[in-house]
């Protein structure tokens, strides 16, 4: 197993963080797998008769499944107090798939928000008439960009040694960063702030315009707004803690290299925040319920078939959903 030979900065095991995060990851795996498996079946089986939004949601599901498949390795590591027992190549693949999920999830959540923005604010814009063919092409471009930016994680080993323990981490403990690490950090930061700005603009722009047009009391419009607000909340809850704690750790390494206690606290907070990042795979099915009548109706039918209760299945599509008949 190859390891980092560089002189490390304040490298310690995040034992307390591992103890806190492990049960959370297990719960996320248990709830995330069936929710996303159902979403994959629903969106995949009806893709040909749906609109571009369904394509974006399907790709969001695929990104979540990448994360869920990788979670057992991270759970095993945390249960061993961060000790990584697998080979370096599996460490690289694990970190790559986790980063791929984050980047792809952010990308497709942003596409869903922008799609809603045009449907509500600019209902007659030609972008609203894009065929599935073009939405598939857009999705391909997103995946190609994400893969290109995340592939450097596969090029270097990420095993750090602390005593007799091997730690698999994507963030560096060295003061001198390699090009791959700088690229990783740059993507990590920019992929949050740029889409976050877009989401804030779309959400508040829609609310402002609808109030100006005096349409905000419409039940259908309210449901469309909820989709945007839900995406913004999910984005904030899942990704903001990791950004704040990660930036703090980087600033300490850069400007206060001897402040090991402060660095270790921020590093522990970052490790805990990872659980929030992975939470997006569990929360995304909630977005599907609000943004896709297809998914919501299928979920209701499943609940009805189990005899748990009887829910009304809507026959007409909700405004702002994947059919968008009222806005095209």
Q: What is the mean pLDDT for each group of 10 consecutive residues in the chain (328 residues)?
A: 50 77 92 87 70 86 89 90 88 90 92 85 76 88 93 85 80 70 86 93 82 61 78 91 90 82 86 88 85 75 67 52 41
Helices 179-212 and 219-255, interaxial angle, to 10°? 150
Residue 127, domain member (yes or no)? yes
What is the distance of C-alpha 22 from the center of its chain?
Answer: 19
pLDDT at 202: 87
pLDDT at 46: 65
Residue 302, domain member (yes or no)? no
Residue 233, domain member (yes or no)? yes
CATH of the domain at 71: 1.20.1070.10
Residue 325, domain member (yes or no)? no
pLDDT at 29: 92
Tell me the residue range of the domain where 133 lies.
15-295
Residue 211, domain member (yes or no)? yes
Residue 275, domain member (yes or no)? yes
Residue 121, domain member (yes or no)? yes
CA atoms within 13 A on the CB side of 182: 6
Residue 304, domain member (yes or no)? no
Q: What total of structural domains would you count in the chain?
A: 1
């Amino acid at each position: 197993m190859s390891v980092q030979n560089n002189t490390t900065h304040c490298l310690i095991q995040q034992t307390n963080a591992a103890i806190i995060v492990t049960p959370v990851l297990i719960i996320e795996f248990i709830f995330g797998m069936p929710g996303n498996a159902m979403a994959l079946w629903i969106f995949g089986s009806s893709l040909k008769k749906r609109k571009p939004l369904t394509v974006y949601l399907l790709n969001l599901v695929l990104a979540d499944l990448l994360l869920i498949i990788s979670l057992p390795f991270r759970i095993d590591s945390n249960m061993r107090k961060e000790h990584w027992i697998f080979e370096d190549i599996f460490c690289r693949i694990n970190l790559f798939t986790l980063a791929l999920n984050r980047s792809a999830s952010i990308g497709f959540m942003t596409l869903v928000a922008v799609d809603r923005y045009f449907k509500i604010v600019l209902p007659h814009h030609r972008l609203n008439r894009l065929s599935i063919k073009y939405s598939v092409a857009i999705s391909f471009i997103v995946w190609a960009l994400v893969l290109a930016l995340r592939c450097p994680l596969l090029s270097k080993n990420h095993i750090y040694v602390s005593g007799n323990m091997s730690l698999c981490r994507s963030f560096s403990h060295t003061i001198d960063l390699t090009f791959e690490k700088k690229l990783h950090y740059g993507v990590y930061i920019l992929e949050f702030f740029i889409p976050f700005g877009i989401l804030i603009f779309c959400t508040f722009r829609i609310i402002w315009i609808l109030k100006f047009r005096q349409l905000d009391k419409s039940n259908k419009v309210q449901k469309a707004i909820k989709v945007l607000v839900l995406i913004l909340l999910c984005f904030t809850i899942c990704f903001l803690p990791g950004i704040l704690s990660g930036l703090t750790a980087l600033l300490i390494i850069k400007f206060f290299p001897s402040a090991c206690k402060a660095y270790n606290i921020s590093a522990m907070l970052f490790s805990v925040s990872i659980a929030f990042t992975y939470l997006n795979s569990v929360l995304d099915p909630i977005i599907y319920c609000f943004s896709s009548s297809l998914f919501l109706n299928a979920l209701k039918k499943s609940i009805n078939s189990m005899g748990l209760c009887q829910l009304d299945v809507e026959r007409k599509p909700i405004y702002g959903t994947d059919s968008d008949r009222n806005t095209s």
